[in-house]
Amino acid sequence: MHSYAREVVDEAKASLDCHGLDATPSVTTLVLHGLTNSRARLIDNAEKESLPYYLDVLEPQDKSLSADDRKNYMMARRTVMYNSDDIHTYFLHGHEDGLLVIFSHCGLKAVHTKQWYLDESSPLYDETLRPLLTTTTTPMLSMSAVGVMGAIDRYVEGRLSKSANVLRFTGKVYADKQHAIRRSMDIALETDIHRETMKVYLQDLHNSGMRALNDKLGLTSPTLIYIPTSLEELTQPPEPENPTTSRDAIPDSDWHQNQQTSSGSFPTWPSTALYPQAAPVPDSDGSALSLYSDVNFQPLYASHQSASLTRMHVPPTEESYLNLSANSTYGLSAEEGAQDAFWSVPYRTM
User: Residues 275-294: pLDDT tens digits?
Assistant: 444 444 444 444 444 343 34
| Residue 114 burial (10 A CB sphere; 0-12, 13-18, 19+) | buried
- Of residues 316 and 193, more confidently modeled: 193
- Of residues 202 and 330, more confidently modeled: 202
- Of residues 83 and 3, more confidently modeled: 83
3-state DSSP assignment of residue 252: helix
Residue spans of the domains in the chain: they are 2-217
Rounded to whole angstroms, how far apart are CA atoms 133 and 96? 26
Rounded to whole angstroms, how far apart are CA atoms 314 and 349? 8
Rounded to whole angstroms, how far apart are CA atoms 259 and 265? 9
Compute the average pLDDT of residues 33-56: 91
Share of the chain above pLDDT 70, in %: 68
Rounded to whole angstroms, how far apart are CA atoms 283 and 159? 55
Comparing 66-80, 174-188, 230-244, the range with the smallest average pLDDT is 230-244
With cut-offs at 50, 70 and 90, classify the pLDDT of residue 2: confident
Residues 6+ apart with CB under 8 A from 140: 112, 116
With cut-offs at 50, 70 and 90, classify the pLDDT of residue 36: confident
Output the pLDDT for position 278.
47
Q: What is the dihedral of CA 168, 173, 178, 180, to 10 degrees?
A: -160
- Of residues 109 and 249, more confidently modeled: 109
- 45-101 pLDDT, tens digit per residue, is 999 999 999 999 999 999 999 999 999 999 999 999 999 999 999 999 999 888 899
For residue 216, pLDDT beyond 60? yes
Encode 252-275: b = buried (16+ Cβ within 10 Å), e = exposed: eeeeeeeeeeeeeeeeeeeeeeee
Compute the average pLDDT of residues 231-238: 86
Rounded to whole angstroms, how far apart are CA atoms 64 and 129? 52
**Count of other CB atoms within 10 angstroms of residue 83:** 12
For residue 129, pLDDT beyond 90? no
- 98-128 pLDDT, tens digit per residue, is 889 999 999 999 999 999 999 988 888 888 8
Rounded to whole angstroms, how far apart are CA atoms 211 and 233? 33
The full DSSP string for 76-125 is HHHHHHH-TTSTTT-TT-EEETTEEETT--HHHHHHHHIIIII-TTSGGG
Output the pLDDT for position 326.
43
Rounded to whole angstroms, how far apart are CA atoms 239 and 236? 9
With cut-offs at 50, 70 and 90, classify the pLDDT of residue 218: confident
Output the pLDDT for position 175.
92
- Residue count of the chain: 350
| Residue 147 burial (10 A CB sphere; 0-12, 13-18, 19+) | buried
Output the pLDDT for position 281.
47
Phi, psi of 137 (to 5 degrees): -100, 155
With cut-offs at 50, 70 and 90, classify the pLDDT of residue 17: confident
| Residue 7 burial (10 A CB sphere; 0-12, 13-18, 19+) | exposed
Output the pLDDT for position 138.
97
Residue 272 zone, left/alpha/beta (φ > 0; ψ -120 to 50; rest): beta
Compute the average pLDDT of residues 1-12: 85
Residue 17 zone, left/alpha/beta (φ > 0; ψ -120 to 50; rest): left
3-state DSSP assignment of residue 277: strand
Output the pLDDT for position 5.
85
Comparing 16-20, 93-97, 145-149, the range with the smallest average pLDDT is 16-20
Mean pLDDT value across the chain: 77
Single pTM value for the model? 0.61
- Of residues 254 and 184, more confidently modeled: 184
With cut-offs at 50, 70 and 90, classify the pLDDT of residue 263: very low
What's the DSSP call for residue 348?
E
3-state DSSP assignment of residue 46: helix
Any long-range contacts for 304-313 (C-beta under 8 Å, 24+ apart)?
305/333, 307/225, 307/331, 307/332, 308/225, 308/227, 309/224, 309/225, 309/227, 310/227, 311/224, 311/226, 311/227, 312/347, 312/348, 312/350
Output the pLDDT for position 259.
55
With cut-offs at 50, 70 and 90, classify the pLDDT of residue 34: confident
Rounded to whole angstroms, how far apart are CA atoms 92 and 90? 6
